[in-house]
Amino acid sequence: MIRRYAQIRPSRGTVISPALRAEVRSADGFGCAGYSAGMLGECFGGIELDHIRASHGIGMKSATERPNLVSLCSAHHRQKTENGRKWRPLLLEYIARRDQWGGGREEAPE
């Protein structure tokens, strides 16, 4: 049995600056990046910024920076959360393309 001797502090959630939020949303074409990354199913629900790299522990957060953030609809966010081993590598490839070419929804320059 695990015992906790100190109270868990309430989480204030992830704080993403408005400038970073706007930058990522713009790079993702103001929509869900799931389809562009090869995720299955139609987009559904609101668009959320999601951390892609795993946090490596309960209560730990991965970096809140552009190379680790992507815009996902609620449906694709759930897919990534439930099956991260499958979708994280594809989303990281998408982010690399997005950041190399200036936008994930665009084709590579000729």
Written as tens digits, the pLDDT of the chain (110 aa) is 667 677 766 656 678 899 999 999 999 999 999 999 999 989 988 999 998 987 766 666 778 889 999 999 999 999 998 998 899 999 999 999 998 876 555 443 44
User: Which residue range is the domain that position 32 belongs to?
Assistant: 18-52+63-101
Does residue 28 fall inside a structural domain?
yes
Does residue 36 fall inside a structural domain?
yes
- Per the structure, the count of domains in the chain is 1
Does residue 47 fall inside a structural domain?
yes
Does residue 84 fall inside a structural domain?
yes
Does residue 44 fall inside a structural domain?
yes
Does residue 26 fall inside a structural domain?
yes
> What is the DSSP code string of 6-70?
SPPPPP------HHHHHHHHHHTTTS-STTTTT--S---S-EEEEE-S--SSTT-----SGGGEE
**The whole model's pTM is what?**
0.75
Does residue 58 fall inside a structural domain?
no
